[in-house]
Amino acid sequence: MNIINNIISNGMIFALPLFIMAVGGIYSERSGVTNLALEGLQGFGAFTGSVVAVSLAGYFGADSPVPVYLALISAMLGGMLFSLLHALLCNYFKADMVISGIVINILAMALTAFFTKVINKNVFGEASDGFMLGIMDRFSIPGLSEIPVLGAFFTNIYMFEIIIVILAVITWYILYKTSFGLHLRAAGDNPAAVDAAGIDVIRIRYFAVMMSGALSGLAGICFTYSITAKFSSSVYMGFGYLAIAALIFGGWKIMPTLAACLIFGFARSAGYQIVQALGLPSAYSDLVMILPYVLTLVLLIFLAGNSQAPRALGEAYDKSKR
């Protein structure tokens, strides 16, 4: 039973940040903007939040949660601002959206690596390519955590898990229960009709890409405070591409995408539990990290053909050609 509880608890730690990043990708792509830049956006957001956290650490007590929450907010702002570059390239300059996303990823990795070294050397006086943040405090919800099996979902959780669930509900409501969400989804299927109705397609797409940046940045700082315990190049581990795979398998819909992320998360945590249970060398733990990507290939074979992308996805909208 402990093994199952650990699989669920640790799987959620990976699945939920992945999910909220995928939700950001859904916003962008449902509006018509292909977004392969999730990897770079989550990395730049994590960098921004980490800089804020280490800069403020000396002004608060060691047990103060203030730097952590400010880091979460800063990561969202950092990811949002950096996503504007992708939005400009795709919407204003009409650049190829796939190439733009790849460039954003490369640029984010290069910039954050450079600035991390510069800040550590000139501000903190140490030669380091990362920012040590540590692990966020974990807690269990009384009562709910005592339920057999299902209680594992409420045991040893991070506060960011609750924040992500709340944000996911809000973003679901906006996308499916508001007129703005209807306009956003229509912008990815028939932007000319949206424009004919007097709605600014480009403005919607800017908002959607910025939403993807904010949610990706949040995911990045959550990974930093849990899986890696520090900001460094290790945050660029393909999680952004995995989120893209999840939203494709989920058919660009939020709930099916959550299911895909949970599969990835539980596969990863189950692999670690198997390695520990069998007493295998630590090198096998590194091998476990490929499980989500192996599952991606399997799902690609059986499910990708059933996914229906937004009809105008990847097409730069030019109002003059309407």
The torsion angle over the Cα atoms of residues 37, 86, 197 and 190, rounded to 10 degrees, is: -40
- Tally the domains of the chain: 1
Per-residue pLDDT of 128-184, as tens digits, reads 889 999 889 999 999 988 888 889 999 999 999 999 999 999 999 999 999 999 999
Residue ranges making up the domain that contains 84 = 2-321
Q: What is the pLDDT of residue 272?
A: 86
CA torsion sign for 75, 80, 83, 85 is negative
Specify the pTM: 0.95
Percentage of the chain beyond pLDDT 70 is: 98
Q: What is the pLDDT of residue 103?
A: 97
CATH number for 237 = 1.10.3470
User: The tokens 């409420």 sit on which residue?
Assistant: 154
Beta-carbon contacts of 59 under 8 Å, excluding residues fewer than 6 positions away, are none
Given a cut of 70, whether residue 1 has pLDDT beyond it is: no
Q: Specify the 3-state DSSP secondary structure of 231.
A: strand
Q: What is the pLDDT of residue 322?
A: 61
Nearest CA among 259, 262, 257 for reference residue 7: 262
Per-residue pLDDT of 237-281, as tens digits, reads 899 999 999 999 899 999 999 999 999 999 899 888 888 888 877
C-alpha distances (whole Å) from 197 to each of 135, 174, 182, 277 are 49, 20, 13, 60
Which phi and psi angles does 163 have, rounded to 5°?
A: -60, -45
Label the pairing between strands 138-139 and 230-231: unpaired
Helical H runs in the chain?
2-30, 38-56, 66-87, 97-122, 159-177, 179-189, 191-196, 201-223, 239-249, 254-278, 283-288, 291-302
Please report which confidence band the pLDDT of residue 11 belongs to, taking 50, 70 and 90 as the band edges: very high
Given a cut of 90, whether residue 62 has pLDDT beyond it is: no
3-state SS, 93-145, equals: CCCCHHHHHHHHHHHHHHHHHHHHHHHHHHCCCCCCCCEECCCCCEECCCCHH
Per-residue pLDDT of 177-186, as tens digits, reads 999 999 999 9
Nearest CA among 152, 171, 178 for reference residue 269: 152
Please report which confidence band the pLDDT of residue 318 belongs to, taking 50, 70 and 90 as the band edges: confident
What token pair was written down for 110?
């290069």
